[in-house]
Structure 1
């Protein structure tokens, strides 16, 4: 299993969420390729943590559709599966629509400014083909609705369903087509300023459905 060169990059006291994020990111960016066997000992050496948080992270990644546990054999990185990805996309789009509908009536001008600033960073990152920064800015943009909605179940469901889309987002954010999202974000901001929760929700849903999965 190929792992990044750095070893022991996390302290023993690292929160399990960071272990999850590290393995998830390595799967999404291709460091851990589809079909790759995930060995506890190698993950322990890379992350510098015990087996317990690693097993917990792998269970979460299995629920997210990024790894497959073969009973009595091994845990491997899940291959890309279009049907599963489309299913996840539909759920994620609906959840973000709900988040917007709940959040828009509660937004402050500061919240909208955060969205505007995130979209500016998103556009700049796309112009420089900086996929990592584009992903972070896009997350920051959509996180405003999720946070303001104050619905913890939304957050939990998105944590479970969003990771499988990361591989698609990474490909899209590295292409010219992603620039359509800048205008879509701007429209979401405009509708939010107007206080139109229904329209903002629909716009969010369309934004997530615009990832461009073949066969849709």
Structure 2
């Protein structure tokens, strides 16, 4: 019985997430658990469980006196997270590439293949984050820097919550992962760092409004300027 109820909660979660991602439910729209349960022909229990999960994923907010409403995205926070990710993940890629084994690269290639296939299926939103994190962390673990990995994992969790608001099947992950893989296979640390930066930046920009601009002097503008400067420096080897 518990497994049936869990499956029902999963189905409700996927149903509501799809409505949020598609824009059918806009930020600020109220979710009435009783109404949802009646529409889906379910009891309120799996609906409540689904809403708790939506809350933990950052897709809804539970507000006093208003109940459950669809969450929006704080664009400033999203940009700050993107800036920190570029700074930390390009460093990790630079450190990691010289230490990669053939098995590491084979594992990344296999995960990339699985991720590409998952984007064609009905459960892309559910599977993407797990496979995406596995792909990148296979590389970053070879940086051999536990403190850096802890920061990256924390930022990844925050980025995943933002990413849940968007249809991942329309994202740029596949070609960017291919570029990262190619750089790793060639043991080109600078190219891997550049591909990682482009990957994070493009994904961030794809999630922003059309009129969004990176302001001069912002964290993201500064990180990008530093990255461009570092890429122009001669090698120390």
Q: TM-score, normalised by structure 2?
A: 0.55
Structure 2 equivalent of residue 158 of structure 1: 156
State whether structure 2 residue 2 is matched by structure 1 residue 9: no
Counterparts of 1:119-158 in structure 2, within 5 Å, are 119-123=112-116, 130=121, 132-133=123-124, 136=127, 139-147=130-138, 148-149=140-141, 151-158=149-156
Deviates more, 1:159-168 or 1:40-49: 40-49
Match of 1:70 in 2: 63
Give the total of aligned pairs: 192
Distance apart, 1:119 and its partner CA: 3.0
Deviation (angstroms), 1:10 = 1.2
Q: How does 1:96-135 map to 2 (within 5 A)?
A: 96-123=89-116, 130=121, 132-133=123-124
- CA–CA separation in structure 1 for the residues paired with 2:80 and 2:122: 24
Give me the whole-angstrom Cα distance separating, in 2, the residues matched to 1:46 and 1:97. Answer: 46
Preserved contact between residue 104 and residue 195 of structure 1 (Cα < 8 Å): yes
When the two chains are superposed, the root-mean-square deviation of aligned CA atoms in Å is: 4.5
- Separation in 1, partners of 2:134, 2:45: 27
Q: Any unmatched runs of 5+ in structure 1?
A: 1-6
Structure-2 separation of matches of 1:103 and 1:27: 39
- Tell me which residue corresponds to 1:167: 165
- Mapped to 1, the partners of 2:95 and 2:199 lie a distance apart of 17
Distance 1:112 1:197 in 2: 14
Among candidates 161, 181, 187, match of residue 179 of structure 2: 187
How much does 1:188 deviate? 0.9
Please state how far the C-alpha of 1:206 moved relative to its aligned partner: 0.8
Which has the higher Rg, Structure 1 or Structure 2?
2
Tell me if the contact between 2:82 and 2:200 (Cα under 8 Å) persists in the aligned partners: yes
CA distance in 1, matches of 2:43, 2:100: 44
**Segment drifting more, 23-32 vs 189-198:** 23-32
Structure 2 portions without partners, runs of 5+ = 214-237
